[in-house]
Amino acid sequence: MNHKVGTNDTVARFIGIDVSKQWLDVACLPEREMRRFSNDGAGLEQMGAWMVRVAPELIVMEASGGFETNAATALAARGLALAVVNPKHVRDFARAFGILAKTDRIDALVLAGSPRRCSRQFGHCLTKSGGN
């Protein structure tokens, strides 16, 4: 979903989520808004409610040894478009654009920015209907 920027302009919002056992670091573009949610039931509920309000075009999160499963399931249940991607590909993507530093916040921003730079690669994401 898009939001109005000017009278005739709309800009798609994209969200990137860096996943760890305890935290979900979230970046929203184009605003560059950063949030952190706990990777548990309460945090997933807060994040899901916030994302429904934000209405992103696509959420991109990295696979993280299964720590992403509950978050991905919760977001898909809310009807949000979601792609779970290989973290090595994300790191390679960042390196290709000269982003050498690696922090949770930077990773979330890279994930959020990736669909804008290579939209064809995200054609196989989970859609609002839940299919691949």
pLDDT for 8 equals 42
In a domain, 127, yes or no: no
Most confident of 70-79, 84-93, 100-109, 110-119: 70-79
List the domain range (segments joined by +) for residue 45.
2-122
Whether the bond into 30 is cis, omega within 30 of 0 = yes
CATH of the domain at 102: 3.30.420.10
DSSP 55: -
* Domains in the chain, number: 1
| pTM, entire model | 0.74
Going by DSSP bridges, is the β-strand pair 58-62/14-19 parallel, antiparallel, or unpaired? parallel
Q: Is residue 129 part of a domain?
A: no
> Considering the domain boundaries, does residue 7 fall inside one?
yes
Tokens of 47: 């994040």
Least Cα distance to 105 among 16, 12, 14, 21 occurs for 16
